[in-house]
Structure 1
Amino acid sequence: MEETKLGVIESRFADLIWAHAPLTSGELVKLCREELTWKKSTTYTVLKKLCDRGLFRNDGGTVTAAISKEEFHAMQSERFVEETFDGSLPAFLAAFTSRKKLSEEEIHQLQKLIDQSREG
């Protein structure tokens, strides 16, 4: 995937597609008019841009997600850890927890992820 970062408006647009896909390009135009107050040309311009970046597809007028919202966020998270913490997840967690105390539930969830990673 070429570029995984999205601006605020692109994120809102992407969220609309993820929430409603598959949908026709006409339905997307109507949805963007209602939710973002966009013109048809703006919708198609941004759609083409995000299709070119590999997030979505527009095949025969049907818009679908090429990757899920969860996959997209996982890619963004990986990139952030790579760029900011030299790929070290422990360094990221140390920085994160130095300012925010984890709740017992968060600790439990993290431990569960660690245990699952060991098993799989």
Structure 2
Amino acid sequence: MEELKMGAVQEQFADLIWQHEPIASGELVKLCQQKWGWKKPTTYTVLRKLCQRGIFQNENSVVTSRMTRAEYDALQSEKFVEDRFDGSLPAFIAAFTARKALSQEEAAEIRRMIDGFETEG
């Protein structure tokens, strides 16, 4: 599978699909024409690239997602931590909080999340 990262235009296009899915490919062409002035080939080129990456699929002229926006964002976050912090979530949190203090509510929510995700062993 090709790298999942999208550029700004592709992200806007993906958001349009996520908002309207399932959507007929012809209707997607019309939406892109209205929103950005795209021609049919432009819409299909961008769609094809995102389908090749495994983010969307176009079957029987109906476009649907193969992952939700939340799943896409989670994968991008994991990749960011892996690439920039050698996969260390504590190193990421240390870097993040070095410039921005957590509120009591944020810290409490993170503690609840950690308690819920901790594995025994």
Q: TM-score, normalised by structure 2?
A: 0.94
1:9 is aligned to 2:9: yes
The number of residues matched between the two structures is: 120
CA shift for structure 1 position 104: 1.6
1:50 is aligned to 2:50: yes
* Poorly superposed stretches of 4+, deviation over 2 Å: none
Counterpart mapping for 1:59-78 below 5 A: 59-78=59-78
1:30 is aligned to 2:30: yes
> Which letter does structure 2 place at the counterpart of 1:87?
G
Q: Please, which runs of 5 or more residues in structure 2 have no aligned partner? A: none
Q: TM-score, normalised by structure 1?
A: 0.95
Deviations 1:25-53 (A, max 9, x none): 01101111122221111000000110011
CA shift for structure 1 position 20: 0.7
CA shift for structure 1 position 119: 6.5
RMSD between aligned alpha carbons?
A: 1.3
Identity of aligned residues (%): 56
Q: Please, which runs of 5 or more residues in structure 1 have no aligned partner? A: none
Deviations 1:72-96 (A, max 9, x none): 0000000000000000000000000
